[in-house]
Amino acid sequence: MYLHLYLQNVLRGIHISPYAKLLTCVRGAVYDVVIDVRPDSPTFLQWSAVHLTEENCRQLFIPPHCGHAFYSLQDKTTVVYSQVRVIIESNETHATKMRL
């Protein structure tokens, strides 16, 4: 489990992990986007977005090898990530390195 604190107006670009993630916003608010970048998937290049806030208590599941990006809407926004494996930066891919 990982806890991240963000200032308002922080944009984290599309990044892809080989592991599934479950996200929850426990303070503040984020606009969160997930995109299917798995070429063999029937939903390839489809995306979905959701507001995660401490008030709505929503969670977002991100399947392995799908893209994830978010925008922090409030100062001191805190997001909790649950993931099946340890985050290793070298295992993550950024959309700028991919050809979609």
pLDDT class for 93, splitting at 50, 70, 90? low
Identified catalytic residue from 15, 19, 31, 71: 15
Residue in this structure with the two tokens 């649950």, named with its chain if needed: 82
- Residue 22: phi, psi to the nearest 5? -125, 120
Q: Whole-model pTM?
A: 0.79
Query: Is 51 part of the annotated catalytic residue set?
Result: no
| Mean pLDDT in residue range 59-70 | 95
Q: How many helices (H) and strands (E) does the chain have?
A: 0, 9
**What's residue 5's pLDDT?**
83
Q: What average pLDDT does the segment 49-66 reach?
A: 96
Query: Could you confirm whether 81 is annotated as catalytic?
Result: yes
Answer whether CATH 1.25.40.20 is correct for domain 2-97. Answer: no
Q: What are the sequence ranges of the domains in the chain?
A: 2-97
User: Residue 96 above 50 pLDDT?
Assistant: no
DSSP code per residue over 19-65: S-EEEEEEESEEEEEEE---TTSTTTT-EEEEEEETTT--EEEE-TT
Tokens of 12: 């984290």
Catalytic choice (19, 31, 71, 81): 81
